Structure 1
Amino acid sequence: MNIAAAANENMAQLSNYLVYSALAVYTLAFLAHIAEWAFGSRSRIAKQSAALTAQEQEAKAAAAAPAVTVRAAGGTATLERPKVVTRNRGRDVADGLGAAGEDEKGELLGRIAISLTTLAFLIHLAGVVTRGLSVERAPWANMYEFSTTFSMVAVGVYLGLLAAGKKVRWIGLFLITTVLLDLGLALTVLYTESDQLVPALQSPWLIVHVACAIICGASFYVGAVSSLAYLVRDSYESRLEAGRTMRLSTVWRRLPSAATLDKLAYRVNAIVFPLWTFTIIAGAIWAEAAWGRYWGWDPKETWSFITWVVYAAYLHARATAGWKGRKAAYLALIAFACWIFNYYGVNMFVTGSLHSYAGVE
């Protein structure tokens, strides 16, 4: 018995070392992403943005040109000034970092950043697995374990999109920044010693329900970042259309086009929403087994449902009311804010929750 306890303690300590090591490599990846944004050439992207600016200038000149009157044998004819369409939100333009292409230096920095991110992810994965092995259960029974697993899955989703050929390298800087904050919070404020499950958690539904919640949260995060980036890029394109400048324009023009970002956010949220629906249903089934009722309006249950309603409203508005662009992006961000509050706020600040075992111990 003592030997087993010591082995478990050793495995738990190994998990801590691996998570700290992953944090260190993520820091290197963060610096590599910063270097790519700061020092990587924007040659092709800059040319595309410059071409778009020239198009806007030509359009303004054409719009300001007076109509031309031509006298002919049969009378006079007035030639209207040409109508120039300068902006097509349905077509992608200047598809930013790692998408439109960079020179050799930019590509090298990008590859280094992705390689370091991949290495950190593998170390992170090992840390999560050894945490579970230390007590022979799924490694997401408290907020520390949920946080470390959540950030690992978020990176996995990102790397999976890259492996599938999606042009999402631009997310890397935002993602790694978030992962560093999440792991830092987990290792300091949320840390909990590896221990056995409380009776309410001793169920196969722990694996199903919480695993689905983690996958949904990681995917919703990608959608939220895309929506936030869309708002910035849309403002940049609007100012560009009006012939005005924007602070940090050399940064914003490296984002994918507004049309691309809007499309990405919608697709991610739409694909993951059915899984979030199943997550809530699975939680209700687990609640019946643990507490003898399917639904009791516990704060965690209530906010899970609120999150579901807001995401459902977002998807419904996109599908029926034709909501695209800024209003849809704001609604998507509100939905993700509800998910974050359900993740942190309910566990840390709301009392009387039957889910209090998932809080900081």
Structure 2
Amino acid sequence: MPVNETLSQYSDWSYTTATAIYVVALAFFLIEQSFGAKGRLAAERAKSRARELVGAGGPSVTETTVDTAPPAPRPVGRAERIGRMGAALTVLGVLLHLSALVLRGLATHRVPWGNMYEYIMVVTLIAVITWLWAIKKFPVRHLSGFMLLPIVILMFIGGTMLYTVAAPVQPALQSYWLVIHVSAAATSSGIFLVPGVASLLYLVRAAHERNPKRFAKFASKLPAAEVLDRVAYRTTVFAFPLFTFGVLCGAVWAESAWGRFWGWDPKETTAFVAWVVYAAYLHSRATAGWRGSRAAVINTLGFVVTVFNLFFINLVTTGLHSYAGVG
């Protein structure tokens, strides 16, 4: 069937608009990160002061308020309001991002992840959705700028240097395995972006806790290391089985297309290395002696391998996956 050029144009416009909205949201989150620290520090000091009073035998919060009125809600500062606006803009960007993906699929009459431009579109969409879940579950919204920065960079690269005109996929990719294998690979890769950033920030925070003089201005604005560790661990736990499923599906597709399950193609080899690294991270995270910074270093290495696999292997090396640009 011919490509619907109108829907393709709408998809491109949605993608560009979503990228622009992410940039604005990024600016809002950076404002919250830079100027919202005073409010967070004041809240922490108030909690610490309340604990000191209770420990010293002074009246507790409940003793002074239970017979009068419930405590007033903490006032929302200007920086926090700007952060909330950034979160709302991020949700709007996700809706436009998703629209771009759906319109691309409708325009080409196939699943919209048949080339590098579309693959990056999926990866970044999944990463932003995962981060929205993270900021709902953990107090890490003010760190959203660090997450949106690589997203914006990836989307800019995808929309400029890697942009491909909407068209049917090559005959070798016209298989139901394109739906199963590539969707699993793209989804897991998008989720892995979140623990990668969280682990990097964890290493900064942990270094500051060991030596308060290191990264003093920056690390003091980060959440506790335990919070960043939980974000990294829970997202990795969710992504790893999906990534494993994608690797196994790729092996089955390889046997069907090339007559062998595994051939140590550059793409296959790098995917296997990434799988080993993430398996080592989960094992180390479950082992008491390797928790903390050691586990975060391993997870960061997995993040580096994932990005390496996304760009260098797809765009520089030559292998059986070169014609696809994905997988």
Same fold (TM over 0.5): yes
**Contact in 2 for aligned 1:234/1:258 (Cα 8 Å):** yes
Could you tell me which residue of structure 1 aligns to residue 148 of structure 2?
176
The CA RMSD measured in Å over matched residues stands at 2.4
Is residue 215 of structure 2 the alignment partner of residue 219 of structure 1? no
Is residue 323 of structure 2 the alignment partner of residue 357 of structure 1? yes
Could you tell me which residue of structure 1 aligns to residue 55 of structure 2?
none
Is residue 143 of structure 2 the alignment partner of residue 147 of structure 1? no
**Contact in 2 for aligned 1:40/1:102 (Cα 8 Å):** no
**Contact in 1 for aligned 2:173/2:324 (Cα 8 Å):** no
Q: TM-score if structure 1 supplies the norm length?
A: 0.78
Could you tell me which residue of structure 2 aligns to residue 33 of structure 1?
29
Distance 1:102 1:38, change over 3 A: farther
Q: Percent of pairs identical after alignment?
A: 42
User: What amino acid is aligned across from residue 28 of structure 1 in structure 2?
Assistant: V
Could you tell me which residue of structure 2 aligns to residue 279 of structure 1?
246
Could you tell me which residue of structure 2 aligns to residue 185 of structure 1?
157
How far, CA to CA, are the matches of 2:22 and 2:191 in structure 1?
20
User: What amino acid is aligned across from residue 355 of structure 1 in structure 2?
Assistant: H
Is residue 202 of structure 2 the alignment partner of residue 235 of structure 1? no
Q: C-alpha displacement at 1:247, in angstroms? A: 4.5
Is residue 85 of structure 2 the alignment partner of residue 112 of structure 1? yes
How far, CA to CA, are the matches of 1:228 and 1:50 in structure 2?
29
User: What amino acid is aligned across from residue 88 of structure 2 in structure 1?
Assistant: S
Distance 1:221 1:27, change over 3 A: same
Q: TM-score if structure 2 supplies the norm length?
A: 0.86
Structure label with greater radius of gyration: 1
Could you tell me which residue of structure 2 aligns to residue 103 of structure 1?
76
Q: C-alpha displacement at 1:289, in angstroms? A: 2.0
User: What amino acid is aligned across from residue 174 of structure 1 in structure 2?
Assistant: F
Q: How many equivalent pairs are there?
A: 303
How far, CA to CA, are the matches of 1:48 and 1:298 in structure 2?
52
Could you tell me which residue of structure 1 aligns to residue 280 of structure 2?
313
Match of 1:343 among 278, 296, 310: 310
Distance 1:138 1:274, change over 3 A: same
Q: C-alpha displacement at 1:246, in angstroms? A: 4.0
User: What amino acid is aligned across from residue 19 of structure 1 in structure 2?
Assistant: Y
Which structure 1 segments of 5+ residues have no match? 53-100
Match of 2:8 among 9, 12, 21: 12
How far, CA to CA, are the matches of 1:41 and 1:359 in structure 2?
43
How far, CA to CA, are the matches of 1:32 and 1:212 in structure 2?
32
Which structure 2 segments of 5+ residues have no match? 49-73
**Contact in 2 for aligned 1:41/1:102 (Cα 8 Å):** no
**Contact in 2 for aligned 1:22/1:123 (Cα 8 Å):** yes
Q: C-alpha displacement at 1:320, in angstroms? A: 3.8
Is residue 231 of structure 2 the alignment partner of residue 291 of structure 1? no
